[in-house]
Amino acid sequence: MSLKPEEVSSVLKDQLEKYQSKVEMTDVGTILQVGDGIARIYGLSSAMAGEMLEFPGGVKGMVLNLEEDNVGAVLFGSDVGIKEGDTVRCTGKIASVPVGEAILGRVLNAVGEPIDNKGPIASDENRVIEIKAVGITERQPVKQPVQTGVKAIDAMIPIGRGQRELIIGDRGTGKTAVAVDAIINQKSSDMLCIYVAIGQKASTVVGIHDVL
């Protein structure tokens, strides 16, 4: 099979006409110091407060301090393998998490990434993590009761939807059990329940997920 020069030139001309040059600019910085989940970075001149950063190894972080000559960031992951001199990139996105009905029944980490091996979150909407709370006068009044399913609590302690209720007790006294029972009792209602585990062991979170 032989190629004619005019055929080659026509193909090259066609490719040149369709060629589009895309240039992306990314703000890049260098780690000055890292330890205890905190990193100080030099060079991120356009970083925004609360912006997500990309560290080596796929670890993400968030900008907390904007100082004159460096940026302080918290790491959402292990700092093992991240060292002084490594490159950090800005994402241009303020820390946010997916919202909507797509997250119901899913297990997410602190930055809204699914950790239940059920695939990505099918949500097109995101909400910024750091947001100003609605003022007291703008909030709806507490006027609808909530049944926890625990007779002693429902009989003695009236709880309303939208009300903050603190469960206090020593370790192993059943605080989590009360909260999980209250969530299970809402199965036949229109209330949406979200369990937030802070500082819990992964085994505990898995156990609660299996129960729910």
Check which CATH number belongs to the domain holding 57 and give it: 2.40.30.20
Query: Taking Cα atoms as reference points, which of 37, 69, 67 lies closest to residue 55?
Result: 37
**Residues 136-140, mean pLDDT to the nearest whole number:** 88
Token code pair at residue 115: 């950790």
| Domain endpoint, select from 131, 156, 190 | 131
Residues 88 and 104 in one domain: no
Residues 116 and 146 in one domain: no
Looking at the domain assignment, is residue 21 inside a domain? no
Looking at the domain assignment, is residue 7 inside a domain? no
Residues 100 and 81 in one domain: no
Handedness of CA 159, 164, 165, 171 (dihedral sign): positive
Helix (H) or strand (E) holding 72: strand 71-76
Helix (H) or strand (E) holding 63: strand 60-66
The amino acid sitting at 62 is M
- CA–CA distance, 81 with 101 (Å, rounded to integer): 37
- CA–CA distance, 192 with 183 (Å, rounded to integer): 9
**Residues 136-147, mean pLDDT to the nearest whole number:** 89
Cβ atoms of 126 and 96 within 8 Å: the answer is yes
Q: How many structural domains is the chain composed of? A: 3
Residues 110 and 74 in one domain: no
- CA–CA distance, 206 with 90 (Å, rounded to integer): 33
Residues 104 and 51 in one domain: no
What pLDDT, on the 0 to 100 scale, is given for residue 22?
61
pLDDT exceeds cutoff 70 at 137: yes
Looking at the domain assignment, is residue 206 inside a domain? yes
What digits encode the pLDDT tens for the residues 37-71?
A: 899 999 888 889 899 999 998 899 999 999 888 99
What pLDDT, on the 0 to 100 scale, is given for residue 87?
92
Residues 86 and 101 in one domain: no
What pLDDT, on the 0 to 100 scale, is given for residue 19?
66
pLDDT exceeds cutoff 80 at 14: no
**Residues 153-160, mean pLDDT to the nearest whole number:** 90
Residues 177 and 120 in one domain: no
What pLDDT, on the 0 to 100 scale, is given for residue 183?
94
- CA–CA distance, 162 with 144 (Å, rounded to integer): 8
Q: Which residue has the higher pLDDT, 4 or 186?
A: 186
What pLDDT, on the 0 to 100 scale, is given for residue 193?
92
Cβ atoms of 212 and 180 within 8 Å: the answer is yes
Cβ atoms of 73 and 90 within 8 Å: the answer is no
Residues 192 and 178 in one domain: yes
- CA–CA distance, 155 with 209 (Å, rounded to integer): 28
Looking at the domain assignment, is residue 12 inside a domain? no
Give the 3-state secondary structure of residue 179: helix
Residues 171 and 193 in one domain: yes
Residues 90 and 119 in one domain: no
Residues 47 and 103 in one domain: no
- DSSP 8-class letter at 165: -
Helix axes 175-184, 202-211, angle to 10 degrees: 30
The parent domain of residue 182 ranges over 141-212
pLDDT exceeds cutoff 60 at 3: no
Looking at the domain assignment, is residue 172 inside a domain? yes
**pTM assigned to the model:** 0.69
> What number of other Cβ atoms are within 10 A of residue 11's Cβ?
11
Looking at the domain assignment, is residue 1 inside a domain? no
- CA–CA distance, 171 with 164 (Å, rounded to integer): 21
Looking at the domain assignment, is residue 11 inside a domain? no
Q: State how far the alpha carbon of 194 is from the alpha carbons of 99, 170, 183, in Å.
A: 12, 23, 8
What digits encode the pLDDT tens for the residues 172-204?
A: 898 999 999 999 999 888 899 999 998 888 898
Residues 44 and 67 in one domain: yes
Partners of 145 in the β-ladder: 160
Looking at the domain assignment, is residue 15 inside a domain? no
